[in-house]
Structures are given as structure tokens and as C-alpha cells.
Copies of this chain bind each other. A is one copy, B any other.
Amino acid sequence: MQPDSLLPVFSSSKGATAIVIALLVERGLLDLDALVTHYWPEFGQNGKDKVTVRQLLSHQAGLTGVDGGFSFEDLYEHKALAERLAAQRPYWYPGQAYAYHALTIGTLANELIIRIDGRTVQQLLREDICAPRNVDLWMGTPESEDARCVDVEIPPMEEVMAFLASSSLVLETDGLGSLNSPPGGALGLLSAVNSVESRRAGQPAAGMLANGRGLAKLYATTIFDLEGPRLLSDETIAQVAQTQVYGLELGTGLQAKFGIIFQGAFSPRWPFGSYRAFGHDGAGGSIGFADPHHQLSFGYTVKRIPLPGGVDQRALELSKIARQCVTS
């Protein structure tokens, strides 16, 4: 491990995708209250014609999986997967429930971005944010960075299985699940992120590589003037960080809280900042966020995946100390 090593950050990728979405809001190109079909007409099939962008991007649209399942190869082939999702009937009546779209949210957001901007989320992130501001993270990592890439280390299988056995997460293979279909389920995904295919594809929900500094700087560009004017206005941040759903998550029964893709801060589950904070953690322990109230941004990556999944508890501790530093 070196200071600039790049690690797979799992769902912290969603935070970068969310920032690209926010940038389109900032530019007046995306209206959260519009119907998805306004930008993506084919999406309106099978009872999805009244789904709003707001619902789609806050895990309410009922597309947590893909009928018939999908392989990792399917996941990396954006276009075909987007078409299958557009054709599909939602697993629940949109807006009446929500559940974390662990992988499909990346495909859904990306297609929306393509329809609006012409470029993919990966291109937009690189060209409009990371390249001009020297932000060291990669959604779709090129060969040139391979020497810096480090695999995440999966805990011994008996520890993982013991955790899953004691978990309230339902991981049946034949049912509705946010992780439905990847060969090997959640465990399969843990291994797949280290593959060169995943690295190159940079799937927008879970395939980004970064280091802690890169994540922190990405969020910093949203609220501070940093190698250019800040990317997002207070008005835009208020819109995307606003809580969109709260309550019991369908399938797991856990309490979650989401903004526009972003996880809701100031919740017992994700206590990473004030009620104005916005960010996202990853199954491998990473997290990135900005907190306009405390005027700080934060990034964290880790090589050995901590149990239980999600953000590393040490990262939350660190972020608490950081808050205390700026308020005392």
C-alpha cells in the first residue's frame, strides 16, 4: 500500500454518480420532479410511465434486480442492461416502498445522464470534474493506472459466513433482492471488484477505484472553490441532500434514509455528519462525504474489508473527531 494506491470502493462509487447527477441539476439540465420518460421515453413500459426522476434516484422505482438475472458481463454492458430495465415491470408499485438498488441504480442513473448530456457518467466525471481539478479517482480505470491498483482483501470465508448467518439480510437466490443474479450473490460481488474487467468497466454503482484523498477531494470540489469555482450551489445541494425516503426497507426491514442517491446523514445508521451532510459508503468499508454545516469533506478507503459490511466504524470515529476539530 502506498499513499496513492487505488482501491475498489464498492458503493462509494454511487457518491460520485450522485455528484454527476447533481451537476446536471446545477446546470439546469435535469429537473428532479420531471417524469423519467421526459428524458428516457422507453423507460415508461409496464407501469413505469408515472415514475419521477426523484423516485428513480432514491431507490423507489422497484427495479432492484433484472428479470431473468444478470451476469457480471451483463452488468458491464451498460446499454443492454438499461434496455432490459426499461422494459421491466417494477417489483413494487413505484413510490409505495423502497429498497436499495445496490447495482441497478448505477445503470439507471447512467442512462439518464447519457440521455441528457450525451456522455456517460464515467466520461462526465473525468472530463468535467476529475481531470480539470486533479481528483484521483477512476470510474473506469485505464491501464495507465494499473500499477497503483491494489486488491481489497476479503476476510476469511468462515468470518463472512458467520456474519451473514447472524445478519437480518435476506439473501435468497430465487427472490427479490438488491443483489439478485450476480453469480455467487453478495460473496461473488466481493470477489468480482478486484477483477480487471470490473476495474475497466467502472460500473457506476460499485466499480470505482479511489484512495481516501481522491474521495475527500471529490466532495471538496462540491462545496469549496478548489482549482476552480465550487461545483454545486447551496440550492442544488439542498435539493439533492434532502431526505427523499425514510422507513423500513422492503426485503430487509432495516431502517434506511436516502436523498438523491446519497445516503441520508444524521441517521443512526449513517451518523457521518450534520443533517446537511451528503455522501455514500461502500460495502468494503470506504466512505466519502461533504458536510456544508461543518465546512469539511471526508474520504476513507481500506484494504481489508471490515465486518460487518458497510462503512468501517473507524472511519465514522475519524469523521467524528474531524467534526470536533472544526467546531471547537
> Which residues of A come within 8 Å of B, CB atoms?
46-47, 54, 62, 89-93, 96-97, 170, 172, 174-176, 238-239, 242-248, 250, 253, 255, 257, 266, 268, 274-275, 293-294, 323, 327
CA distance A172 to B97 in the complex (A): 29
CA distance A93 to B264 in the complex (A): 12
A46-B238, A175-B266, A239-B47 known; A257-B246 Cβ under 8 A: no
Determine whether the beta carbon of B274 is less than 8 Å from that of A175.
yes
**CB-contact partner of A327 in B92, B96, B174, B327, under 8 A:** B174
CA distance A47 to B260 in the complex (A): 15
Determine whether the beta carbon of B243 is less than 8 Å from that of A96.
yes
Report, nearest first, the 3 A-B pairs whose CB atoms are least far apart. Answer: A176-B275, A92-B243, A175-B266
Determine whether the beta carbon of B242 is less than 8 Å from that of A92.
yes
Chain A contact residues: over half helix, strand or loop, or mixed? loop
A238-B46, A253-B268 known; A96-B174 Cβ under 8 A: no
A151 to nearest B CB, angstroms?
34
Determine whether the beta carbon of A92 is less than 8 Å from that of B246.
yes
A91 to nearest B CB, angstroms?
6
- Known contacts A91-B242, A246-B250; 5 additional CB pairs below 8 A are A92-B246, A93-B244, A96-B245, A174-B274, A175-B266
CA distance A255 to B97 in the complex (A): 13
Give every chain B residue within 8 A of A275 (Cβ-Cβ).
91, 174-176
State the number of copies, please. Answer: 3
CA distance A242 to B61 in the complex (A): 12
Query: Which residue on B lies nearest to A95, using beta carbons?
Result: B96
Offer 14 A-B interface pairs, CB within 8 angstroms, sorted by A.
Answer: A46-B238, A47-B239, A91-B275, A92-B244, A93-B244, A97-B247, A174-B293, A174-B294, A174-B327, A175-B266, A246-B248, A246-B250, A248-B248, A250-B257
Determine whether the beta carbon of A243 is less than 8 Å from that of B93.
yes
CA distance A170 to B246 in the complex (A): 16
A58 to nearest B CB, angstroms?
8
Query: Which residue on B lies nearest to A323, using beta carbons?
Result: B174
A131 to nearest B CB, angstroms?
32
CA distance A93 to B89 in the complex (A): 25
A289 to nearest B CB, angstroms?
14
CA distance A116 to B180 in the complex (A): 39
**CB-contact partner of A250 in B170, B238, B243, under 8 A:** B243
A260 to nearest B CB, angstroms?
10
